[in-house]
Chains A and B, each alone.
Chain A
Amino acid sequence: MSQKFVLGYFDDEETLMHAIEKINATGTKIYEVYSPFPIHGIDDLLGYKRTRLSVAAFIFGCIGFSLALFMQTFMLGLDKWRINIGGKPYLAWPDFVPVTFEGTVLITALGMVFTFMWVNEFFPGAVEKQPHPRVTEDLFVVAIKSEDAEGSDVQSIMSSNGALEVKEEEVLL
């Protein structure tokens, strides 16, 4: 669903950060900022909490570890037709280290990538929700919902703090 947004266009990340600080001072809520590359420190300015992706990674790691270890234990030690290799122990734990490790890494990596795609709503053919095609090139855009911008002077703040252009537009974000 398209919505009305106040969009401020910038061509440099330093002016952008400065303008965001000014907007924050007015207490206006910024919807999102778009940029061609990651900008350090912008998360704090926008008040984003640290992503919990690393927690997910740990959980996936535990799942992968248990699955791989259980698989080997079951197949070599518990199943009815376990193989007797020269009378050696069925459960030779040190031998299970490599595959357990690979299993942990595999499940964690795949799980993480799917989680990343899921939370960002990325999938093959997804429509890009961006204010301007040049945000993947050299344009930095601050988007504020029109209803949030109402009654504040964010438009003039942005134009007096280095914005190339400020306009109100209906876009899908």
Chain B
Amino acid sequence: MYESPYRRPLITGDDTTYKKISDDIIIPVEAKPTQWWYMGFAISLAFLALYVWAIGYLLWNGVGSWGLNKTVDWGWDITNFVWWVGIGHAGTLISAVLLLFRQKWRTAVNRSAEAMTIFAVVCAGVYPLLHAGRPWVIYWALPLPNTYGNLWANFNSPLLWDVFAISTYLTVSVVFWYVGLLPDLASVRDRAEGMKKKIYGILSFGWNGSAKAWSRFEVISLILAGLATPLVLSVHTIVSMDFATSVIPGWHTTIFPPYFVAGAVFSGFAMVLTLLIVARKAMNLENYITLNHIDVMCKIIMVTGSIVGSAYITEFFIAWYSAVEYERYAFVNRMFGEYWWSYWAMMTCNVITPQLFWSQKLRRNITAVFIISIFVNIGMWFERFVIIVTSLHRDYLPSSWAMYSPTWVEISMYMGSMGLFFTLFFLFAKYVPVIAVAEVKSIMKTSAEKYMKITMEKEKAEESAQHSHESHHA
């Protein structure tokens, strides 16, 4: 397919070849991990241990060991659940939505973003599981035949929709990711020897790179992308309905689904940037995840950040315009109530910082992007906290008004879930090619710096030949 050579290249370097792409991306899988990897992995494992300890303590002592009370009965658990699910959304957006839009820059980041999705959804899923109180009977949430004369689950409840949405999302993300992995696992297999060859041989399902397989691969990628696109929108829509279908002031708004989805993409891209800025440096992938990739992702953050910002303002306007006393109070209370600091943290991180990306200089400054991406992560966490806690802590009955602060169990579980996430990510970076090798190869001729130069020279030569031809005739 023709691509203008004047576009920014997606693969930099003057010596790009198919072989070099394989080498650059697969060598980290073959080589012994660096000291940095061991150090990072050890720290992640320490946090994972904290996670296991905190969950063990929670299971032994019950949900009472959290700081929740009868007024604020959703706290850090649901905050973290919504935050993690949101982070997952960027992966699907990159791998599915951008595939449908035929965006070529997607090829360098889709694999790791999709892995991030899976790990984030795993981290998210643990929270409602434990929030339910008795995770060992969580199968009650599934429509299974039972001894109570078949007393079925209530399909009118958004909480049950969530069970279906999250589990479908996890399943579809995993299969989509794994199908995409087959050619690259085969590539690792064909370069390896001995035991490694055997293991990657089993994992690559006998992939052989035949034209038939590729043709089916392309169609199934398209179909799965077509399925994942509405799916990812539905997931955070349904998560937002957990709030929006209730009658709590501050939750009961129709703007929630689009607002949550935009927020999810916003926070997800921030996390992708946080991870990839480190990964591209640590794994020497700067030729594949270039400044141009970072630039476009910053633009997406800016757009979704602006959507989120306008949603905040719309919410406020509607609270006032509705003339509902309780609704108005809920929003004024967010701004100036006891939890004012969380509200202003959210506003600063989510509304102001992404606007800095209007500047191209900042979008192409790695340190600045890294810092802003962390700000966005923090801001989106506060958004979930603000929505949940400030709405709940002042309920209809002033005698029930309460404050909420997390106990060490909640804090450890949150830090621990980061441990789980990063442990999985470190394993992924070690054992799987972090960039879709085959997909990057397929854009080499059109989007690698080296080949774009050749095309440009060819075009220039043709143009000047035409000019001299014309002048000759004149």
Whether A83 is near chain B, meaning CB under 8 Å from some CB there, is: yes
Residues of chain B within 8 A (CB-CB) of A79 are 150, 152
B168 within 8 A of A: yes
Given known contacts A53-B220, A95-B156, A138-B22, A109 and B171 CB-to-CB distance under 8 angstroms: yes
CB within 8 A of B442: which of A37, A92, A125, A136? Answer: A37
Q: Is B172 an interface residue (CB 8 A)?
A: yes
> Does A23 sit at the interface, judged by CB under 8 A?
no
- Residues in chain A near residue B191, CB distance under 8 A: 133, 137
Task: With both chains docked as a complex, state the minimum distance between the C-beta of B313 and any C-beta of chain A, in angstroms.
Answer: 28
Give the segment of B27-35, B174-182, B335-343 that binds chain A: B174-182
- Whether A136 touches B190, Cβ cut-off 8 Å, given contacts A98-B165, A109-B172, is yes
Shortest A76–chain B CB gap in Å is 6
Known contacts A95-B156, A124-B202, A137-B19: A53-B219 contact under CB 8 Å: yes
The minimal Cβ–Cβ distance linking A129 to chain B, given in whole angstroms, is: 5
Contact check, B152 vs A105: say whether CB atoms are below 8 A apart: no
Kindly state whether residue B472 has any CB partner on chain A within 8 Å.
no
CB under 8 Å from chain A, chain B span 80-95: none
Indicate whether B212 reaches chain A with its CB closer than 8 angstroms: yes
A34 in contact with B211 (CB, 8 Å): yes
- Contact (Cβ within 8 A) A53 B223: yes
Partner of B206, one of A33, A83, A99, A126: A126
Question: Among the interface residues B165, B206, B216, which one has the most CB atoms of the partner chain A within 10 A?
Answer: B206
A40 & B1 in contact (Cβ 8 Å cutoff): yes
B211 touches A98 (CB 8 A): no
Using CB atoms, name the residue of chain A closest to B235: A102
Contacts of A59 in B (CB 8 A): none
Bound: A54/B241 CA distance, A: 32
- 9-residue interface stretch from B113-121, B226-234, B388-396: B226-234
Contacts of A57 in B (CB 8 A): 223
Contact between B190 and A137, CB atoms less than 8 A apart? yes
Q: A105-B168, A113-B179 are in contact. Are A37 and B441 (CB under 8 A)?
A: yes
Of A99, A102, A108, A130, which contacts B210 at CB under 8 A?
A130
Convert B229-270 into 0s and 1s, putting 1 for each residue whose CB lies closer than 8 angstroms to a CB of A.
011001000100100000000000000000000000000000
Shortest CB distance B168–A (Å): 4
A109 adjacent to B155 (CB under 8 Å):
no
Interface size of B in residues (CB-CB distance below 8 Å): 67
CA distance A33 to B211 in the complex (A): 5
Q: A98 touching B227 by the CB < 8 A rule?
A: no
A33 touches B175 (CB 8 A): no
Contacts of A33 in B (CB 8 A): 210-211
A156 at interface by CB-CB < 8 Å = no
Nearest-Cβ distance from residue B404 to partner chain A, whole angstroms:
30
Interface residues of B (CB under 8 A from A): 1, 17-19, 22, 143, 148-156, 158, 160-161, 164-165, 168, 171-172, 175-176, 179, 182-183, 186-187, 189-191, 201-220, 223-224, 227-228, 230-231, 234, 238, 241, 438-439, 441-442, 445
Nearest first, the 6 closest Cβ-Cβ pairs linking A and B are A126-B206, A138-B18, A133-B190, A75-B152, A130-B208, A122-B205
Q: List 7 A-B contacts (CB under 8 A).
A: A36-B441, A76-B154, A81-B148, A81-B150, A99-B161, A128-B186, A137-B19
Interface residues of A (CB under 8 A from B): 11, 13, 32-40, 42-43, 46, 48, 51, 53-54, 57, 71-72, 75-76, 79-83, 85, 88, 92, 95-96, 98-99, 101-103, 105-106, 108-110, 112-113, 116-117, 119-130, 133-138
